[in-house]
Amino acid sequence: MSSEVKLQTCSLDELFGNEEFPLCIPDYQRTYCWREKNVYKLLDDIWSVNADYHMGSIILQNKEGKLNIIDGQQRLVTLTLILNELGDTEKLPLLDEKIESEEAEEYIAYNKHLVARYINRIKNFADLKIEKAAKIRKNLKFAVLVLEDESLDLAYTFFSSQNSKGVKLTSYELLKSHHLHFIPNEKWAIHMAKRWDSILLDKTSDERIDITMGKYLFHMRKWLYQNDWDDNENLKVKEEFESALTIPEVPPFGEKFVFNEPIQGGTHFFAYTDFFINKCREFHQTDTYKSVHKIDGETHVFFRDVMEALLFAYYLKFGDSYMAEAFICISKIVSQYRYESERVDTLVIRKSSRNSKLMLLIDQASSPTFFLAAARDIYNKMELLEKDRAPIMERYTKQLEHSINEVKGNVFSSTFKEDLNE
């Protein structure tokens, strides 16, 4: 497979005016969803431009006589709306694109209104609209990467360190494109892409993909194998969930989803994600989770997130059986690392979570009793620190004790009941 790419600088007019290879938005591309602040920022950036102005990078894929937009859709669609409002309707290839998503249609309709309001607020501007459109077409410049084959990973790697005024692709958007390449059936690929987009656009629920994969599964997989990572690496989640290496003549098989399994490229990855999002939804309905999640504010949330991820691992293994007891064990061990650290940063939390080996204990236990006994033994052997702690630690302790008091009613083990009464 060729990995040839072509990099060139193009004006907006050259991008929109390429009749031989017109721009188009592939069906699997993410939904147009620019918000008001994005539209106004773009308008402010380009409105007073009288010389060449760099607009960041655009990634295109040359396929079947068209240039599919892989990265840059949000900017190019919005620029289409701006030129259209200025009365420049020639050479606007995206103007006639069929919009499948109702949500995208709503964004486009609203952003048309925003653009019109922005332009029409300028007095005595009616006769200058076409002149302004011509300047925009001529002066806006893009670094355009045209990929000539099916593999997009090279393009994403190339642009990962580039300065772009567009919205950078997240790990989750890159994972979508990465795994769609393993699906040969176009209809299936489109279906998976739309399903993935609906998940990415869900910004309100606790089952968001960044919680399930970024906060829970990513850390669980790293802790289990004692692997470290760089918190400053923006695409660490993408790298963790990319397709694992396989032997061509030995195909992967099996549909049992295990959080730490090697990732199969294609439909299995999307099914894997769906499975754990649903498990996360169930987990968030438990009384124990609701009590843990009340720990909030300051650096307390860092330790809460660690406890939640470990508790989610326990829930995946044993359901809600003795889940309150598991929280008590996990919270006592994690909290000791809190009390040992005068200053908290992500490195302290990461090392303490990895070194506690709680993830390994959960994975190896065949029954709740083995995990609970091992974890209880760990915290009983820990050196209890003095009570004269810094004020922030006292505030953390108060919140933690409140959460533990809330789950007391769900503690069934007499051993743990006695521990709580000591």
Indicate the DSSP class of residue 247: B
32 has a pLDDT exceeding 80: yes
Give residue limits of the domains in the chain: 5-169, 209-421
Nearest-CA neighbor of 292 among 258, 330, 264? 330
Between 98-107, 169-178, 203-212, 295-304, the lowest mean confidence (pLDDT) is in 203-212
Sheet containing strand 66-71, edge to edge, reads 5-11, 140-147, 53-63, 66-71, 23-24
| Res 218: pLDDT | 94
Q: How large is the average pLDDT for residues 211-227?
A: 91
Q: How large is the average pLDDT for residues 251-272?
A: 82
User: The pTM is what?
Assistant: 0.68
The pLDDT confidence band at residue 155, using thresholds 50, 70 and 90, is: low
* Residue 159 φ then ψ, to 5°: -95, 0
Question: Rounded to whole angstroms, how far apart are CA atoms 156 and 178?
Answer: 10
What are the CA-CA distances from residue 138 to residues 14, 52, 96, 183, 221 (Å)? 8, 8, 22, 39, 50
Question: Rounded to whole angstroms, how far apart are CA atoms 196 and 167?
Answer: 18
Q: What is the pLDDT of residues 163-189, one digit of tens each?
A: 344 445 678 888 887 888 788 777 787
User: b/e for 239-277, b at 16 or more Cβ within 10 A?
Assistant: ebbbbeeeeeeeeeeeeeeebeeebbbbbbbbebbeebb
Nearest-CA neighbor of 290 among 276, 304, 273? 304
Question: Rounded to whole angstroms, how far apart are CA atoms 306 and 311?
Answer: 9
Q: How large is the average pLDDT for residues 332-356?
A: 69
Q: What is the pLDDT of residues 110-128, one digit of tens each?
A: 999 999 999 888 766 777 8
